[in-house]
Amino acid sequence: MEAQPGIAIRRALVYVGLTLAAIVVLFPFFWMVITAVKEPGHAFTAEVLPRHPTLDNFRRVLSDFGFGRYFLNSVIVATTAAFFATLFASLAGYVFAKKKFFGRDKLFGFLLASLMIPGMMYVVPQFAIINAFGWMNTYRAMIVPHLANVFGLFLMRQYMMTIPSELLEAAKIDGAGEWQVFRTIMVPLSIPIIATLFLLTFQFHWNNFLWQLIVTNVERLYTVPVGLALFRSQHEQSYTLIMAGSCISVLPIAALFFFAQRYFIEGMTMGALKG
């Protein structure tokens, strides 16, 4: 009983520290949103909250400056790439986790070793292949080169190894085929890591700037990061418009994480990194 006051004090200090850390982390987002709803020319006024908040900046960014089209392009590219990359990683993870074939472990080690190669090393050969196929200025150029996700394969394999093989054997005894076993057993039991991988892959493609800039040079195919960068260079003094565009760029990631955070935390903590 005598130790209770000390425990309460330590707990209070932890809460205070976490609150201060949260304030520091969230303040840039708070400033971004507040600036986005201010009237033009009032971005750096002393008032913390705008006296006359307006959503006109968002309207102008979406309609007058083409961010609606950029947003649609990012949704198409990020969603399609995340879906197929997650699907391929799940299939490959199932094979490496539950199937036995010649050279399986050596091949998996070789694939893991490829993660040590900096991503910039792939840009030139990928560009040469895309150009040879005639895919420049197409959605295929923005999506296809990144569908092979070795890190996603690693996550899926490590998680699926924790699923008891007896479940698969029982299903096969009942007459289930390989695809049925994968679809009805492996996928439902792997939902946390699948959601985690989809979220990480979606975030990567949503924020991908360099590759989208390389393979597209027509405005109708610009994604949000490319459009935002070019918009900033053209309207350096329009801070309210820039912050409105920035709010639009972070909205999908924030919404995805908000709705999938339970699966994300579960997928990263329940066996995803076990050997």
**Which string of DSSP letters, residue by residue, matches 99-138?**
---TTHHHHHHHHHHGGGS-GGGGHHHHHHHHHHHT-TTS
Please report the pLDDT score of residue 215 as a whole number. 93
Domain range list for the chain: 77-222+249-269
Query: For residue 163, what are its two tokens?
Result: 């699923």
In the DSSP assignment, the letter for residue 198 is: H
- Coil, strand or helix at 193: helix
Query: For residue 127, what are its two tokens?
Result: 């560009």
Q: CA–CA separation, 55 vs 211, rounded Å?
A: 32
Please list, in sequence order, all residues whose beta carbon lies within 8 angstroms of the beta carbon of residue 81, skipping any fewer than 6 positions away: 142, 143, 146, 147, 201, 202, 205
Please report the pLDDT score of residue 201 as a whole number. 93
Q: CA–CA separation, 139 vs 61, rounded Å?
A: 23
Identify which of 243, 174, 230 has the alpha carbon closest to the alpha carbon of residue 33: 243
Cα 86 to chain centroid distance, Å, stands at: 12
Considering the segment(s) 77-222+249-269 as one domain, its CATH architecture is Orthogonal Bundle (1.10)
pLDDT digits (tens, 9 = 90+) for 106-116: 999 999 998 88
Quote the radius of gyration of the chain (alpha carbons, Å).
Answer: 24
pTM of the model: 0.83
Please list, in sequence order, all residues whose beta carbon lies within 8 angstroms of the beta carbon of residue 197, skipping any fewer than 6 positions away: 85, 86, 89, 90, 149, 152, 155, 156, 267
Please report the pLDDT score of residue 120 as a whole number. 84
Residue showing tokens 């959503």: 55
**Which string of DSSP letters, residue by residue, matches 151-176?**
HHHHHHHHHHTTS-HHHHHHHHHTT-
Please report the pLDDT score of residue 270 as a whole number. 59
Please report the pLDDT score of residue 272 as a whole number. 42
Which ranges of the chain have pLDDT less than 70?
1-4, 46, 232-237, 263-275
